[in-house]
Amino acid sequence: MTKTGDGAAAKPVVAFLGLGIMGTAMAARLVASGHYSKVVVWNRSADKCAPLVAAGAAAVGTPAEAVEAADVVFGMLADPKAALNVALGEGGVVSAMRAGKAYVDMSTVDEETSTRIGEAVAAAGGRFLEAPVSGSKKPAIDGQLIILAAGDESLFDECGPAFDTMGKRALFLGPLGAGARMKLVVNGVMGAVMGAFSEGMALAEASGLRQSDLLEVLSLGAMACPMFALKGPALAQRSYPPAFKLVSQQKDMRLALALGDALDQPLPVMAAANEQYKKAKALGLGDSDFSAVYEAYGHEKKA
C-alpha cells in the first residue's frame, strides 16, 4: 500500500474488469465502500461502464490501462476463453503487469486456465490470486457472496477489505487451483440439484398435484433449501429473469465433468443433469436464469 507524504497510509486504487450481471454488482459495492481512492472499471462493451462512472468510478479503454492505474485488479469474466483473452491478449493484464501490481481473477474457470494466467502474471513480476465466487445476482448486490480463494496468501490477506465488501465469507483454500476446483464442485452440485428439483416439480404437475404444495412440503422437512424457496415460485410461473444465466451454469457443468474425467471420478448425476441444460440451451434459453432448465423436462417455453 502506498503512503502519503506525512507517513499516513493512502487509500489504494483498485480496478474491476468485466461488468456482466455479477461484475457490475461487485464493482458497484467497491465504488460505494469508501475503501479506495479510486475504482477503475473496464468492460469489452464500454457502455456498461456508464452507470458505475456516474457513481464515481473511472473507465479505461483496455485491461492494461486498468493495471497501470491500480494497485490490485479484479476480474470477473464470462468463461475461460474470455479470462485468457483479458489476461494474456493484446492490451491485456499481463502486458502491463510488473512488481507491485496484483491480479485477482474471480471468474469461474478450470484449473488449467487459472494456472496459466497465474504463471504469466508471476513471470511478469506480479502477484496472482484466483477467487471465484459462490452466489448469483442478489448475493452480489447485497455483498453476500462466498469467495473461494487460492494462490498468493499474502494477496488474499491484503484483499480482505474488498472481499468483506463483496462477500459474507472469504475462504483461503491453499495453492493455486484449489479455488477453481472448489467452484466447479459447488456449481456441479448446484446444477444437479436444480435438475432434480425441476424434475420433481414437473412430476408433481403431471400427476395433478399443486406445485405450491410440493414447495411447502419441501420447506418443512430435511430437504428445506434456500434455492428451492427462491427459485420455486418463479419456476412454477415459468418465469426466468436471469440472476445466473443458464448458459453459464451449463459451462460450469461442462468444466466440472471435465475435471471428473481428468481424475477418473464418475459423475453420472451431474452428467445426466448437464444433458438437460444442453437441451434447455438448444431451446433458446441460454440467457434465461439457470432455473429455466425446467423447460427441458417435458415443457416448451411459453410464447
As annotated, the active-site residues are 183
Q: Please state the separation of Cα 112 from the chain's center in Å.
A: 17
C-alpha grid cell, residue 15: 480496478
Q: What is the chain's percent helix, strand, coil content, to nearest 5?
A: 55, 15, 30
CA distance 27 to 19: 8
Q: Please, what is the end-to-end C-alpha distance for the chain in angstroms?
A: 55
Reduce the DSSP state of residue 147 to 3 states and report it: strand
Q: Which of 121, 119, 129, 108 is nearest to 172 (CA)?
A: 129
The CB-based long-range contact list for 277-286 (8 Å cut-off, 24+ gap) reads: 277/191, 277/195, 277/246, 277/249, 277/250, 277/253, 278/250, 280/246, 280/250, 281/246, 281/247, 281/250, 285/240, 285/246, 286/245, 286/246, 286/247, 286/250
CA distance 176 to 111: 8
For the chain, the residue count is 303
